[in-house]
Amino acid sequence: MIQFAGHSTAFDRALSLMPGGVNSPVRSFAAVGGAPVFIERAEGAWLESVDGRQLIDLVGSWGAAILGHGHPAVRDAIRAQSENTVSIGLASPRESDLAEEIIARVPSVQRVRFVNSGTEAVMSALRLARHVTGRRRIVRFEGGYHGHADALLSGAGSGVSTLGLDGEEYDATSDVTILPYNDIDAVKRVFDRIGAEIAGVILEPISGNMGVVPGDHPWLRALRNLTRRSGSVLIFDEVMTGFRVADGGAQSLLGVHADLTTLGKVIGGGLPVGAFGGSADLMDQIAPAGPVYQAGTMSGNPLTMAAGLAALRALDESAYAALERAGKRLQAGLEQAIQDSGFTACVQRQGSMLTLFPGLARVQSFSDANLVNRRQFSRFFHAMLRRGVHLPPSPHEAWFVSLAHDDEIIDAIVDAAAASLRELRDLSTKETTS
Ligand SMILES: *Cc1c(COP(=O)(O)O)cnc(C)c1O
């Protein structure tokens, strides 16, 4: 592994205390080399490192920070709620506040259960799908990431693919069928053969965890029709896309509705959260309304509920219009920089999430995404970091723009990218001529 930067004191300390020095592998710089930047403060679109560097943030708490860091409405909500309750482990009206907001805005959700992470939301949704169908088999897609439950890691995107792990050793069950993303024929073949065994199909309707790869509309419609016909549960994992790509998530944007939806990230206003929801019929199978057990000591805790509600209330029509404008400006700037540098790369975007894939012209599936030039990405990542822009340290992640990324900040990112791409081009010219 190429070391780009010396280990920092903060990283050395963390390394001696936590595996790899981090509490989630996607935070490590394992894929790009060097020591992660340790952050002391975050405000708007900016991060401040422990050594006082100001960096433009495109990680955005992996999508949660859609309003920008430390948004006053969210801060105030957390502060005010903390005066009343922090954690009670009992019912509070704050749960209904956020539930009402979500149910009003996500087309296919009539009832919701809050949990503490996206991983939990997906595990619970799968259990529910298996219960209501009386079947075991789950269909999922290469490059999708649905949390770190055993059965869902094989062929997963996000940190699993970033670190070059295939997740196979964790594939604790043979009840999971993994198909290529955006491949209608593969899905049809499986449903022809074993449709009656399939409890649920889970997917990111717009993938963010192999980088941004939108699901093709005909493929999504085929999934909707096939699951309906075979009595399987269609599960949209919108932990990333929910309230990110549009009000109500990918399903309101695409007009294809799921039976169950998992949420997370944005709906917690930056605090730990997950949720799953669907029709009242389905959701009322969950305990104590029904027999499917699902529980959590901290679930629906009032601080998270208050922060989430403040965030969702700030996400009105004009906010989504502004996010779209910012994403579009960034994409256009990056594409111009790519063209000017003569570098091969493509930019794929949905709203305020976007990925630049070095070495590729178009990405529609995980096998495409895996052809990304990882070495060039690592160089690009560090070239950007030197210029004060913190990207997600992986070629298989989305970059997240927030409402705090104004034109000036977007243009600064584009300028940094143009200079970084020129640097990369000069480097590779030198390498091929020497
Ligand atoms: C982030 C993510 C998860 C996992 O959520 P955690 O809160 O990290 O457990 C699941 N699915 C998708 C699509 C995600 O982006």
What is the tens place of the pLDDT at every residue in 276-324? 999 999 999 999 999 999 999 999 999 999 999 999 999 999 999 999 9
CB 147 near ligand 1, within 6 Å: yes
3-state secondary structure string across 278-324: ECHHHHCCECCCCCECCCCCCCCCHHHHHHHHHHHHHCCHHHHHHHH
Long-range contacts of 34-42 (CB under 8 A, 24+ apart): 34/3, 34/4, 34/5, 34/382, 35/5, 35/6, 35/7, 35/8, 35/11, 36/11, 36/393, 37/385, 37/390, 38/8, 38/10, 38/11, 38/14, 42/69, 42/70
Per-residue pLDDT, 172: 58
Question: Which pLDDT value is given to residue 3?
Answer: 40
Q: Is 240 in the pocket of ligand 1 (CB under 6 A)?
A: yes
* Residues β-bridged to residue 390: 57
Give the separation between CA 84 and CA 201, rounded to whole angstroms. 41
Return the SS3 of 200.
Answer: strand
Q: Ligand 1: does its nearest atom lie under 6 Å from the Cβ of 264?
A: yes
What confidence score (pLDDT) does residue 170 get? 59
Contact (CB, 8 A) for 70 and 44 = yes
Residue 237 CB-half CA count within 13 A: 27
Distance 15 CA to ligand 1 centre (A): 24
Closest C-alpha to 366, from 140, 147, 91: 140
Output the pLDDT for position 44. Answer: 98
In the reported structure, the alpha carbon of residue 119 is separated from the centroid of ligand 1 by a whole-number distance in angstroms of 6
User: Global pTM?
Assistant: 0.96
Q: Is 365 exposed, middle or buried (0-12, 13-18, 19+ CB in 10 A)?
A: middle
177 in contact with ligand 1, CB cutoff 6 A? no
Instruction: Tell which atom from ligand 1 comes closest to the C-alpha of 158.
Output: 15
113 CA from centroid of ligand 1 (Å): 16
The C-alpha atoms of residue 124 and residue 268 are separated, in whole angstroms, by: 18
Quick one: which H or E segment has residue 56? strand 54-57
Q: Which residues of the chain have pLDDT under 70?
A: 1-7, 166-173, 434
Contact 210, 188 (CB under 8 A): no
User: What gap in Å lies between CA 38 and CA 49, rounded to an integer?
Assistant: 6
pLDDT given at position 2: 39
Which atom of ligand 1 is the closest one to the Cα of 209? Answer: 15
Closest atom of ligand 1 relative to the 238 alpha carbon: 13
pLDDT digits (tens, 9 = 90+) for 135-154: 999 999 999 999 998 778 87
Decide whether any atom of ligand 1 lies within 6 Å of the 237 Cβ. Answer: yes
Domains by residue range for the chain, with CATH = 72-314 (3.40.640.10), 316-385 (3.90.1150.10)
C-alpha of residue 62 to centroid of ligand 1, in Å:
9
| Tokens representing residue 429 in the block | 């010219």
> Could you tell me the two tokens for 276?
């799953």
Best residue among 26, 114, 146 to mutate for probing ligand 1's pocket (most ligand atoms within 8 Å of CB) is 146
Cα gap 112→242, rounded to integer Å: 14
Decide whether any atom of ligand 1 lies within 6 Å of the 268 Cβ. no
Among all chains, which residue has been given the structure tokens 């100001």?
Answer: 54
Q: List, by residue number, the catalytic residues.
A: 145, 237, 265
Q: How far is CA 181 from the centre of its chain?
A: 16
